[in-house]
Each structure stands twice: as C-alpha cells, then as structure tokens.
Amino acid sequence: MKNKIERIAVIGAGSWGTALANRLAANGHNVLLWAYEQELVREINASHTNTLFLPGISLHPELVATDDLHEAVDGRGIILLVTPVQVMRGVLEQISSSIGVDTVIANASKGIELGTLQTVSQICGHLLQPKTTKGYVVLSGPTFAREVAQELPSLIVAASRVEANARRIQAAFSNPRFRVYTNSDVIGVELGGAVKNVIAIAAGICDGLGFGHNARAALITRGLAEMNRLGGAMGAQPATFAGLAGMGDLVLTCTGDLSRNRTVGFKLGEGMQLADILGEMLMVAEGVKTAESVHQLAVRLDVEMPIVERTYQILHEGKPARKAVTELMGRDLKAE
C-alpha cells in the first residue's frame, strides 16, 4: 500500500535538517526546508546542494527551501523542528500562531534548554495548544546526517504519546534504507538524545588523553547508568535506554569519527582550549551547552551523575581533564 503524500515543513537546514528533508523529499512528500541563510536557500533551490553543512551530497530536485518561517509552516500537516535546542523557543514563538490544531509537531534536535532545564516537548507544552503538545513526536537514534544522506542503512525511533502520530512519522520517513520504530516514551527518548552528547564529550576526552579502549568502554557503560538514573527521576521507561535512542545513540556518538561532540572532547583531551575548538566548528556541538543544563537538572533532582558533573567542570569551570578522570577513578568503591 502506498503511503500518504504529506505536506511537511522542515525547520533548520543544518546537516541533520537537510538530510531528513532530503529523505522525505525522496519518499515523494511535498517538503519545504527553512534555512536562516539567504544564500543557502538560493543554493538549495538552484543547485540542489548544501555545501555549507552537507558538502558532496546531491539533494533531491523536488526539495525546496525558503528563508521565510511563516511561508515554511503555512498549510503544512507536519512540522519537523531541527534547529539547535537553545534557539528552539524563539523559533516556536514566531510560528506558534501559524500552527494548526491538527498539525503534527515533530522534533529531531537533541538537548535541554539552559535556564528552564526543559526538553523540547516541555517547551512546546508552554507555547502550543494542548492537543498539539499531546501529539508531539520526538525522533532520535544512532544516525549521522552524512550517512543518512548517503542512503546507508539507518534506524531511528519516533516516540509520541499519540500512537497515530508516531505511526504517521514512521510512514513518512520509512524506506528500505531508513527504518523507523515507534515508541511511547517521549521523555526517555528526549533524555537519551541529550545525555549521550555529554557522555560523548567525555569519551572524546578519554581518547584525546590516550586512555585506551578499556576506559572508553567503561565510560560508555557508566554513562548509560547515569542516563538511566536521570530517566528514572523524570519518569522515563528503563527499556528505552537499552534501545536505539539510548544505548544505540550513545555508542555511535561516543565512538564515531563523525561525532561533533566526541571531536570536541578529543581536542580538549589533546590540550586545546574550548573557545578555540568551537571557533573552528561550523556546526553546533549540542553537548557543550547540554552539559550545563543536564548537570543543573541532576543537581535539582538530586541524581548522581559523576561523569556529567566532571564533564561540566572541564567545559565550564576550567578543571583539567586529567584531574577530572583521576577524581572519577578515585571515588569511593561501591557495588555496580
């Protein structure tokens, strides 16, 4: 049975937003991609490329871009948010009046907002109509944008409290090279996507210090334990963290060379300063700011997250990376 053709807005033309918009266009949907940069809009429409964020990839000729937010969302049945989480509130405030009550809001960005310590679903809960918020869908899983754009086999999770919405997103994206599973644990999937970026920075630090595979494997495993503890305090389902949005995404981001967050950590471990590392990067490493928000959330909820705490201290308090690892190894002994 042929899937329904959807009218979809994709908000954010970074590497991930462009890769997802391209996947949807290739599946035959009517897709309008919003980009902040006018020159990028012109390039996508004229040359069907995004050399700024996704160089070397030919985009589907039916994919259209715009720099007008209201044009992007007008009359669209699905709005997919793919802007950095720290600017998400401002984007939603601009388009909230243009979002229909039956529009499905989906989000593929990962992080927790500074200050409020809210996930994107919680931000939506403050800005959008209750029916729209209830039907919110979060997309997460072990997926690098470039590999999705290259049509390499990839798997992802679409989670919503409204099963029909999760299935609608599943149907829109799925094809033989992009498999989507549904889930009902919205907060768990959101937390998995946020925390794994912080742990990936820590893993990169260990690699940059030359601490070897043993240390990285242990850090990933203990990082998963921290993810589970925070999830438990916020009502997430433990099984979520054993799946694609938890362990799957954590392993990918902690080990893959395409991981921006691991790269930040690796360069920190080698001795570079954070400001210099970020100055070299075109795209956002969400884990840098998420380390602060996750650390603050753990303190607020009284959840023990020593890896997140030390990563926050390295990033934002200037703690030497080697000293942070020594402190982690020297903590009181306990049962696993």
What are the pLDDT digits (tens) for 271-323? 999 999 999 988 888 999 999 999 999 999 999 999 999 999 999 999 999 99
Concatenating the DSSP letter of every residue in 207-248 gives HHTT-HHHHHHHHHHHHHHHHHHHHHHTT--GGGGGSIIIII
The catalytic residue positions are 196
Q: Give the strand pairing for 64-66 and 104-107.
A: unpaired
How far lies 94's CA from each of 12, 68, 89, 105, in Å?
Answer: 14, 11, 9, 15
Domains and CATH numbers, the chain: 7-184 (3.40.50.720), 193-329 (1.10.1040.10)
pLDDT band at 110 (very low <50, low <70, confident <90, very high): very high
Are 185 and 193 in contact by the 8 Å Cβ rule? The answer is: no
Q: Tell me: the pLDDT tens digits for 130-151? A: 999 999 999 999 999 999 999 9
The overall average pLDDT reported for the chain is 96
Q: Tell me: the pLDDT tens digits for 252-275? A: 999 999 999 999 999 999 999 999
pLDDT band at 1 (very low <50, low <70, confident <90, very high): very low
